[in-house]
Amino acid sequence: MSDLLENVLLPVASEEDARTSARALTSHDYGTVTVVHVIEKADGAPDKAGVEQREEAAEEMFEAARAVLGDVETEVRYGSDVAETIFDAADERDSSAIVVTPRGGNRFVQLITGDVALHLVTDTDRPVVVLPDDETDTDPPDTDE
Amino acid sequence: MSDGELAKDIGPLAALTIGVGTMIGAGIFVLPRTAISQAGSFAIVAFTLGGAIALLTAFSASELGTAMPKSGGAYYYVNHALGPLFGSIAGWANWLGLAFASAFYMVGFGQYIQQIFGLSAALTVGPVSLNPVKLIALGGAALFIAVNYIGAKETGRLQNVIVVILVAILAVFTVYGGLRADPSNLPPTAGFTDTMTVTGIIFVSYLGFVQITSVAEEIQDPGVNLPRAVIGSVLLVTAIYALVLLTMAAAVEPGFINALPTEQIAVVEVARLLLGPIGAIAMLFGGLLATASSANASILASSRINFAMGRDGIVSESLNEIHPRFATPYRSIAITGGLILLFIAAGTVETLASMGSVLHLIIYGLLNVALIVMREADAEDYNPDYSVPLYPVVPVLGTLTSLGLIVFISPLVIGLSAVLVVGAVLWYFGYARSRATKEGILSQFILSRSDEMPDAAVNAATGVQPDGGNYRVMVPLANPEHETDLITLASAVAKQRGGTVVATHIVSVPDQTALAGAAERADEIDETSERLLASAKEDAKTFGVDVETSTIISHKSFEAIFDAAKSHDADLVVMGWGPDSHGSPGRAESAMDELTEAVPCDFLVMRDRGFDPSRILLPTAGGPDSDLTASIAKLLQAEYDSEVTLLNVADEGGRDDAEAFLEGWATEHGLDDAALRVETGDVETAIESAAEDATLLFVGATEEGLLRRLVGGSVVLDVVDDVECTVVLGEKHRHRGLLERLF
């Protein structure tokens, strides 16, 4: 095992993303994994979806990750800046690397949703490992509607 | 700060602006003309009276909100207190009420845009003449639906700014108006009925405060801030409305408003008169902001209500799927958006406003009743931080005034609302009753005192209770050979769960045969079906479970099973698989390609070599699919006293860990008395050798897509073929069926 994947932080954004990222990780040697989902807060205004609703969605993502990775640690975090919140989680756990898989999507979609992965790579203070999605072909068609 | 506190980021001022921003909208920017022309100077009374009625309910909403800071607000309290029948009414009324109100706000938005750009000529497309206001309203609605569909956290913060601007504009307007006010300008007062009718229409201006409770879970220190925001917002907007109306009535010559051409907006013209062109521009700008922010807030709130309804089983959970990319409840927003567009196209300004009013008055009435029930039933975990003053006078008055005001609204609107309420009741009995997960405090209260309560009340409470969702086990049958074993397994499960067995004869015909042609051979099929289903009935009867039967003719038997599982509301499907059931693997392959990976409900697939549940082997490495097989094994154990052995295949040297895992897993699944067995080496070989002692082998799918694997030839399948006992493969439903791919 390389030291890089010794203590991995695996941020996930959706159930499909959790499955893909977890699967991508299993093709490498890795140590401990923490799966984290950030609930984006509007910072002083009503959020686009209820907190309880997104906590339930986070649980589904964790379940999808566990189905691939086994019993791993999971955490829900809250923050108005998703990338910053992921960095905070990595700092707290002293993660060796943040592992992401590209989510695709055309420029328009990335423009209106903000590209968290790009933000992670450009503003980082620790290694960010971008793993390819192993089974791109078998993704259900609903990934990027 | 803990994460729980981080989730709560709405401060006192932001909470107040949610209420004020939702309420100050088309109500005050569009309706004053109607109000003054119908009620004269009593238009001021109408707006004040509306505020008073809203205030009574605001007290109750505050108490319920601090006791239950949950997503969904008013709907949640009514469902919690009065049960899912009233929950269904409140949920639908709240959802549709917000859609009607949003449609009304957008028509107001259309009027302001039309006024700014001076569009007046109707647009004629062929034989259809389209009103420009409605066209703009439709376009605006589509825009705000799209904003919420994609989700932009910035709109929330913008809302705070908008509210401050609106309050400032209206404050300047009333101060100038106050300086010019002259009591002799006041138009004559109207009679009681006219005033009440106007109150009913303008009540749409008081819908926002309840939306604060629907985001209660996100408010900091809700015990203090929620009541302040709810009650404060009602007081603030009532004062603003009354002053604006006073200005409009007293600062201009009597008859000024009635003399305005219809396409002009009264508030804007009064502002022009008082403050010159700047006043008119500010008012036009304010009207745009107000109608837009009200609509935006209402669309957002309606998705919270959908979420809460879905969680309680009143509507399908699939409505509440979060978008993988936008993280918004996109389906809920899309459907609400569709309703808004429909209502804009179909309704007039007054109808839309009145529908929004009536549906909310129904909820407010129920909300006050919910408060009384919570107090009287003295439910254990009901500990509100805020208490309604003068209980029970305030909630009783709140109920009576809310429901009483409905009487004065136009008969057409009352009729439409009644249809919607009846629809919600039918919806409960037809759809939600078998799915609703919660029993109301009210029926618990009545049923727990069934001796003291009048019989009629007890009967009524029993009659409308959710029936807990009858557990349905569907058994697709293809040939008679394995019928008994499949039905036996299904019946044993159904018996333990108190459920029903649905025996379905799937007649698969080759692609070359048209289904109509097959139907012509119906007599022949009927005879086979009848025989097969009759013996299925007999077999199930020995267990004393209810049986339903049906016959399906299809080209593709696997697909037919998926469809039938959905149409029969199956919780579990027990099917056979092997060279001679539902087509051979080779033949089924083409059909399999068209299936998604997920199953529509829990699936058990049996490779039948005689059903004997005396010694069950259950290999497990954790995961949801072995949760399913564990629960089935436990049911069989209860029915047949089976010996259950749990098996884990560990790495060399991982024995201790594996044993600890199995012990924990056994306890977790209520299988404490099971024998534990740990093997090392090759998984497949270990299972095969352990299966030599077993009569029944349960295998959980290793991950999603068991049915695919059935034809794929993976590890699981080799085991199925190599052991000598009957094998049951389990795959758990993961709430991601075919239907969910619609969006």
Residues of chain A with Cβ-Cβ distance to B152 below 8 Å are: 48
| Distance, CA of B541 to CA of B427 (rounded, Å) | 32
Q: Which of B325, B592, B732 to mutate to test the interface with A (most CBs of A within 10 A)?
A: B325
Cβ–Cβ < 8 Å for B198, B43? yes
Query: What residues of B are in contact with residue A62 (Cβ under 8 Å)?
Result: none
Residue B303 belongs to some domain of the structure: yes
B221 alpha-carbon distance from chain centroid = 27
Give the domain range for residue B690.
Answer: 596-743
**pLDDT value for B608:** 81
For residue B696, the number of C-alpha atoms closer than 13 Å in the C-beta half-sphere is 25
pLDDT at B584: 38
- Provide mean pLDDT across the span B318-335: 89
Q: Are B631 and B709 within one domain? A: yes
> Is residue B674 in some structural domain?
yes
From chain B, the residues in CB contact with A101 under 8 A are none
Mean pLDDT of chain B, nearest integer: 83
> Which of B329, B597, B704 is facing A49, going by the closest CB pair?
B329
Lookup: tokens for A46? 């009503």
Six-digit token pair at B469? 């969702």
CA dihedral B445, B446, B448, B451 (to 10 degrees): 150
* DSSP-based three-state secondary structure for B603: strand
Residue B16 falls within a domain, yes or no?
yes
Is residue B469 over pLDDT 70?
no
Token couple for B313: 């089983």
Residue A83, chain B, CB below 8 Å: the answer is no
Please tell me which residue, B132 or B398, carries the higher pLDDT value: B398
Cβ(A88)–Cβ(A119) under 8 Å?
no
Q: How far is CA A62 from the centre of its chain?
A: 10
Closest to B271 (Cα-Cα) out of B395, B356, B171: B171
Nearest residue of chain B to residue A61 (CA atoms): B324
Q: Is residue B582 part of a domain?
A: no
Q: How far apart are CA B57 and CA B227, in angstroms?
A: 12
Contact status of A140 with chain B (Cβ, < 8 Å): yes
pLDDT of residue B4: 53
Both tokens assigned to B248: 């409009």
Kindly report the CATH number assigned to the domain that includes residue B200: 1.20.1740.10
A17-28: per-residue pLDDT in tens?
A: 899 899 889 888
Residue keyed to tokens 């009143």: B314
Topology, domain A3-133: Rossmann fold (3.40.50)
Q: Does A94 touch chain B (CB under 8 A)?
A: no
Lowest mean pLDDT among B105-119, B391-405, B718-732: B718-732
Are A83 and A117 in contact by the 8 Å Cβ rule? The answer is: no
Task: List C-alpha distances in Å: B163 to B13, B240, B416.
Answer: 11, 13, 33
Beta strands B602-607 and B726-731: pairing type? antiparallel
* CA separation, residue B512 to residues B478, B516, B580, B587 (Å): 19, 11, 20, 14
Q: Determine the residue among A19, A40, A53 to mutate to test chain B binding: the one whose Cβ has the most chain B Cβ atoms within 10 Å.
A: A53
Do B601 and B560 have their domain in common?
A: no
What's the whole-number mean pLDDT along residues A32-38? 93
Closest-CA distance, A96 to chain B, in angstroms, reads 23
Residues B186-194, mean pLDDT to the nearest whole number: 87
Does B527 share its domain with B478? yes
Mean pLDDT of A48-62: 88
Q: Which of B64, B55, B6 is nearest to B385 (CA)?
A: B64
Q: Model confidence at B286, in pLDDT bands (50, 70, 90)? A: very high
- Ramachandran assignment for B69, one of left (phi > 0), alpha (psi -120 to 50 degrees), beta (any other): beta
- Measured over the CA atoms of residue B659, residue B665, residue B668 and residue B673, the dihedral's sign is negative
Amino acid at B282: A
Please give the backbone phi and psi of residue B447, each rounded to the nearest 5 degrees, phi first. -70, -30
Exposure string of B428-449, with b = 16+ CB inside 10 Å and e = fewer, is beeebbebbebbbbbbebbeee
Chain A: nearest CA to B310, how far in angstroms?
10
Q: Is the CB of residue A88 less than 8 Å away from at least one CB of chain B?
A: no
Q: Do A140 and B741 touch (CB under 8 A)?
A: yes
- 8 Å CB contact of B327 and A49: yes
Residues B639 and B720 in one domain: yes
Q: Are residues B73 and B178 in the same domain?
A: yes
| Angstrom distance (rounded) from CA B252 to CA A140 | 65
Confidence class for position B703, pLDDT limits 50, 70, 90: low
Q: How far apart are CA B234 and CA B206, in angstroms?
A: 7
Instruction: pLDDT band for B518, please (50, 70, 90 cuts).
Output: low
> Where in chain A are the domains?
3-133
Number of domains in chain B: 3
Cα B465 from Cα B82, distance rounded (Å): 11
* Residue whose structure tokens are 């300086």: B179
* pLDDT of B468 over the 70 cut: no
Are B344 and B142 contacting, i.e. CB atoms less than 8 angstroms apart? no
Q: Which amino acid is located at B590 in the chain?
A: S
Position B458 in a domain: no
Share of chain B above pLDDT 70, in %: 85
Give me the phi and psi of B587, to 5 degrees please.
-75, -30
Nearest Cα residue in chain A from B158: A45
Cα-to-chain-centroid distance, residue B446: 27
- What does the DSSP 8-state code read for residue B615? E
Same domain, B533 and B613: no
Which of B408, B432, B456 is where one domain is finished?
Answer: B432
Q: Which of B556, B433, B550 is nearest to B501 (CA)?
A: B550
DSSP for residue B382: -
Task: Tell me the one-letter amino acid at A87.
Answer: F
Residue at which a domain ends, from B409, B432, B455: B432
CB contact under 8 Å between A51 and B218, yes or no, is yes
Residues B483 and B388 in one domain: no
Residue numbers in A near B7 (CB within 8 A): 39, 41, 51, 78
Q: Which of B551, B568, B585 is the last residue of a domain?
A: B568
What CATH number does the domain containing B734 carry?
Answer: 3.40.50.620
Across the interface, of B328, B736, B740, the residue whose CB is closest to A48 is: B328
Structure confidence at residue B305 (pLDDT): 92
| A124: confidence class by pLDDT, cuts 50, 70, 90 | confident
Distance from CA of B514 to the nearest CA of A (A): 31
Lowest mean pLDDT among B181-185, B459-463, B582-586: B582-586
Count how many residues are written for chain A. 145
Of B370 and B712, the structure prediction assigns the larger pLDDT to B370
Question: How sure is the predictor about B125, in pLDDT bands with cuts at 50, 70 and 90?
Answer: low
Q: A44-48, B310-314, B586-590, B686-690: lowest mean pLDDT where?
A: B586-590
Residues B188 and B62 in one domain: yes
Q: Which of residues 97-136 of A touch B (CB under 8 A)?
A: 103, 105, 109, 112-113
Beta-carbon contacts of B167 under 8 Å, excluding residues fewer than 6 positions away, are B20, B24, B236, B240
Question: Is residue B526 within 8 Å of residue B514, measured between CB atoms?
Answer: no
Which residues make beta-bridge pairs with B476?
A: B504
Strand, helix or coil for residue B283:
helix
The least confident of A7-11, B213-217, B502-506, B737-741 is: B737-741
B36 & B107 share domain: yes
Q: For B325, which of A46, A71, A113 is closest by C-beta distance?
A: A113
pTM (2 d.p.) = 0.69
Nearest residue on chain B to A12, alpha-carbon basis: B324
* Cβ neighbourhood burial of B667 (10 Å; 0-12, 13-18, 19+): exposed
How far apart are the C-alpha atoms of B2 and B521, rounded to whole Å? 69
**Highest mean pLDDT: which range of A78-82, A114-118, B163-167, B613-617:** B163-167
Q: What is the pLDDT of residue B607?
A: 82
How far apart, in Å, do the first and last CA atoms of chain A sit?
37
Determine the Cα angle at A53 with ends A50 and A57, to 5°.
Answer: 135
Q: Are residues B256 and B299 in the same domain?
A: yes
Min mean pLDDT across A3-12, B17-26, B142-151, B254-263 is at: B254-263
B81 plus B220 within the same structural domain: yes
Q: How far is B88 from chain A (nearest CA, A)?
A: 19
Q: Does residue B47 carry a pLDDT above 70?
A: yes
Token reading at B65: 């909100």
- Using an 8 Å CB-CB cutoff, list chain A residues near B161: none
Q: How confident is the model at residue A10 (pLDDT cuts 50, 70, 90)?
A: very high
Structure-model confidence comparison of residues B5 and B78, the more confident one:
B78
A-B CB pairs within 8 A amount to 135
Test B326 with A143 for CB contact under 8 angstroms.
no
Residue B196 lies in a domain: yes
Residue A2 bridge partners (DSSP): none
Regarding whether B238 and B151 lie in a shared domain, the answer is: yes
The one-character DSSP state at B321 is P
